Amino acid sequence: MKALLIRYGELALKGQNRPFFEDTLVRNIKKRLSDFDSVTVKKEQGRIFVENLSEQYFDEAIERLKRVFGIVGITICEVAEKNLEEIKQVAEVVTKNELEKGKKTFKVETKRADKKFELKSPEVSKLIGAHILKKFAGVYGLCVDVHNPDFILNIEIREKVYVYSSEEKGIGGMPLGTGGRAHLLLSGGIDSPVAGFMIAKRGVEIEAIHFYSFPYTGEKAKEKVIDLCKVLAKYTDKIKLYIVPFTEIQLSIYENCDERYLTIIMRRFMMRIAQKIAMQNGGLALITGESIGQVASQTMESLFCTQAAVSMPVFRPLIGMDKEEIIKLAKRIGTYDISILPYEDCCTVFVPKHPKTRPKLEEVLAEESKLKAEELIEKAVTNTEWMVIRDR
């Protein structure tokens, strides 16, 4: 019989709160595998096991689990009863799989979680190692290397015995749902989806807010953002997306304010609208894809003016990253190819020729006072549409 052994990392450091994080991870795993019949998910002393899963679905299950935050490793293991002869048999199966990949050296590591088992860990390792060496040394040229082996034969003795070698890496982080909720200002560009991913990886449930400037941005721009949410939902299971009508606000800024301040004032309106939506929907923070100095609206002075528009914390996980680092991560999570599609978002509408790169807050506020800000914000929030985008 085979099972999937799931290993997690920093959850183990959570002390008295550890059960909460473990139970949340178990729930997330069950949800991700819910369409597989009869599958069971259980936790046991620092490990999670997926059992009763048909072997034909192992590859698909592993691919899904690699996108579950909190998991650092996934392994297909052979399961045996606590009987030395049966352990030897399943150890042979695991070893042969590795030998057929061309590996030549090994060592055995045993973890005896069940202290009632009659043999101690070093004894089990010695007996199984000797058996494997005798079985395969002549045929495959297998030998022991305790310092730098080609593979490690792992044996974990629990309610049952789990034997495994190679491991698929998980995405790490914290289980989604353990870190509260935050709202992502999602454009159609490269940066903001990556920022949302990075905060979600810390266990934060994210909802997305997109500012839509019809007719200056068309349906293709909206579809692009929906497609980005579909990719993010592969990691978060689902995302609630708010579509905010932003045209009237942009036109009002363009017609009444000094052109040099257009971008900063626009960003301040976005932040204020996002804060209202977040507060109405249980959000505790905002998320942006800003990086210091990347564009005019992301100088230190500009960020200060933008931040001053809201009282809610603003998370900027990309703040110290350069563009190449962000692009690399966007490609890894699968958002890059969508982000570079040539459909403009509202941030590219009414771009000033000579934006103010070192704005002073008092100057920005003076320009902003020319607008009926609260009326415009309230109207935009009232007319906001939303949808829920799910992974499956």
Kind plus residue range of the DSSP H or E element containing 185: strand 181-185
Concatenated DSSP letters of 199-258: HHTBT-EEEEEEEE-TTTS-HHHHHHHHHHHHHHHHHHSEEEEEEEE-HHHHHHHHHHS-
210 is in an annotated binding site: yes
342 burial (CB, 10 Å; 0-12 / 13-18 / 19+) is: exposed
142 is in an annotated binding site: no
- Residue 224 corresponds to which tokens in the numbers above? 């692009």
**Hey, what amino acid is at 49?**
F
Q: Which residue has the tokens 């490690």?
A: 152
- Residue 316 corresponds to which tokens in the numbers above? 């900027």
Q: Which residue has the tokens 């909460």?
A: 20
211 is in an annotated binding site: yes
298 is in an annotated binding site: yes
267 is in an annotated binding site: yes
Q: Give just the sign of the alpha carbon dihedral 353, 343, 379, 199.
A: negative
Pick the closest to residue 327 from 340, 312, 314, 343 (CA basis). 340
318 is in an annotated binding site: no
Q: Which residues are annotated as a binding site for ATP?
A: 185-186, 210-211, 267, 289, 298
| Binding positions | 185-186, 210-211, 267, 289, 298
